[in-house]
Chain A
């Protein structure tokens, strides 16, 4: 919530500054913002609905079952895949990860899960393709998945 407050204050600050420099340009900026907002709103709604549905069928308990306990190669892969398909807000994912570590999960598994969770997104891919093109989306996600596994393995070694 503090984040939301900060960014709103910044936006309002720039808006006031812009308005002082030129009211006309400021209205043009607001119109552009409104146009873009209307164009993107259906995508945002779609993503939110998908996240809600996926999370309700893959609740934290299921994640706990897959990521807890002894580490295996399969588990690290499963963790990376689970992070790829799910979109859990950090404020839920990080405490969950912490409690999993406390109950014996390996740092490697948790690092794989957290990294793909934030960097790779299946649910948001249609929007990413629409805005940035197929190529960037493909390579960015593929490489992020690959690097997530590497990061996880190195962290497991370091911890």
Chain B
């Protein structure tokens, strides 16, 4: 069964690569100017993802094997309170890549029993409160702007998380 899904996933990946190649060729033909730009962007993004995604996957695999569900429930679950929020914030601010890398991590947290609000705090912090990002922001937009934005984003991230949780019943998630 496992082998089958692995082969299936591999097939899908090859299919996607083929599709990508076709799209790129079509773009080169119909929009030669844009094509050059988009290839450059794709190249940069691919390099970033290739460097960051594998270690994130390995860390997720290790977390899956070594961190018991009880521990996740305990630190990030229903009764985790402010400590849970702070831990989620901290995990989100660690230096990593773009937000979509965080989605699989967040899904894993949910599956293991983390609160919806904590998972959304984690995503919010990852998106807007990452430490290296704030450093670059200070450099280009000034300390005052970066400070105000970070403070307001902090409040927003927690508000978004609490409201999102209020809006959703856990049973509605139907996690796979």
Contacts and interface: CB of A to CB of B under 8 A. Distances in A.
Contacts of B49: 44, 48
Nearest to B52: A4
A44 B53 contact: yes
A interface majority secondary structure:
helix
Interface in A21-44: 25-26, 28-44
A132 B110 contact: yes
Contact of A11 (B58, B124, B136): B58
11 contacts: A4-B52, A33-B57, A42-B12, A55-B37, A56-B31, A114-B137, A119-B127, A121-B100, A133-B172, A140-B123, A155-B149
Question: How extensive is the interface on chain B, given as a class?
Answer: 35 or more
Contact of A45 (B20, B54, B168): B20
Contact of A111 (B24, B45, B149): B149
Interface of B: 2, 5-6, 9-10, 12-13, 15-17, 20, 23-24, 27, 31, 34-42, 44-46, 48-49, 51-62, 64-66, 95-100, 103-104, 106-107, 110, 116, 119-120, 123-124, 127-128, 132-133, 136-137, 139-141, 144-145, 148-149, 152-153, 156, 159-160, 163-164, 167-168, 172-175
A46 B20 CA distance: 8
Question: How extensive is the interface on chain A, given as a class?
Answer: 35 or more
B58 A15 contact: yes
